[in-house]
Amino acid sequence: MQDLTPISAVTHPDPYPYYRDLVARTPVYRDEGLGLWVAASAAAVRAALTSEICRVRPPAEPVPRALLGSAAGEIFAALARMNDGAIHAALKPRVSVMVAGLDPGAVAEQARRHARALADPARLGGFLARLPVYVVASLLGVPDDRLEMTALATGALARCFAPGATAEQLEAGKDAAATLRGLFTGDETGVANRVGFLFQAYDATAGLIGNTLVALGRDPSLLRDAELGTVVAEVVRADPPVQNTRRFLAADGLVAGVAMKAGDAILVVLAAANHDATVNPHPERFDLSRRERTAFTFGAGPHACPGEALATAIARAGVEAQLAAGTRPERILEGLAYRPSSNTRVPDFGGW
């Protein structure tokens, strides 16, 4: 596994021995090939995510240049997760209140309703792509007859926002942003963050559903030993859908005890931190009885994602529905591959 990098590891069949080696040997280091600092240990990841000099965007480029002057760029600029400082402090409570205001019963009901309607062992990839958006859009008031359009537009916007988006993906995403913005009424910031809920759920929740099915395929006994919610919780730690994120230094200073300079970028390897034995003893074990499970999958610090409960509820309903529809998890391991990505780990079952 010596040829792996923290980027190529995201879609490797089993990157976790490599991640555990990073934690043990180089918990924070400079990767000249990538042009990035890499934070891998739990302590280094937590330091990067909570440092006052680390930002979610490069200070000189708060919105990607390729998005400027478009609806996609306007949405990006208004997202709580893409801002820091006073703007983030003002936006984050609004977003958190929106998420906290979702009734758990309504979340479970919508998740089960759409999961049962969409479940099809022959169209598993399409199921992963649609279910998270269908559920979140329904909770936000989008009518059923617009859900398919919403899912397609959300996928286009997610691809537009992804690192390395092609010119074609950028243009499709800009058009999709205008479509999605038209679904909601209200002030620009509120509308943008509703759209943000959709695309933030898109890859991460799809990956959580898919990776849970993979875990069940590798060990069918899991559901004999625990209820599905516990399996999903351990997947969040052991095989997370979001493998890394980035931070950008706004000033010279120490991060995780290492001197860095303004303008430096850090690849924050959340998946490696989940496999740090100092916070999760015997991290190589898929342990349903794990006590005080620690996962950085949904972040930490000011930018921690408030949607963990929503994502896990949708994932649980999705897996239950696919199993009831006849999906055999052991079969999906045949030829298992992952969608190309530099930060999200989503099984590629086709149909996207």
On whether residue 211 sits in a domain, the answer given is yes
Report the distance separating Cα 107 and Cα 302, nearest Å.
25
**What's residue 165's pLDDT?**
93
On whether residue 22 sits in a domain, the answer given is yes
On whether residue 296 sits in a domain, the answer given is no
CB-based contacts of 38, cutoff 8 Å, min separation 6: 6, 22, 26, 28, 29, 30, 31, 266, 267, 269
On whether residue 179 sits in a domain, the answer given is yes
**What's residue 188's pLDDT?**
92
On whether residue 298 sits in a domain, the answer given is no
On whether residue 349 sits in a domain, the answer given is no
CATH number at residue 271: 1.10.630.10
Contact 226, 209 (CB under 8 A): no
Look-up of token digits 């990067």: 48
**What's residue 351's pLDDT?**
72
Per run of 10 residues, the mean pLDDT along the chain (length 352 residues) is 89 98 98 97 98 96 96 96 89 80 90 98 96 97 98 97 93 97 94 94 96 97 90 98 98 98 98 98 97 96 91 97 96 93 94 70
Q: Domain count of the chain?
A: 1
On whether residue 203 sits in a domain, the answer given is yes
The range of the structural domain enclosing residue 79 comes to 8-288+305-332
On whether residue 293 sits in a domain, the answer given is no
**What's residue 2's pLDDT?**
62
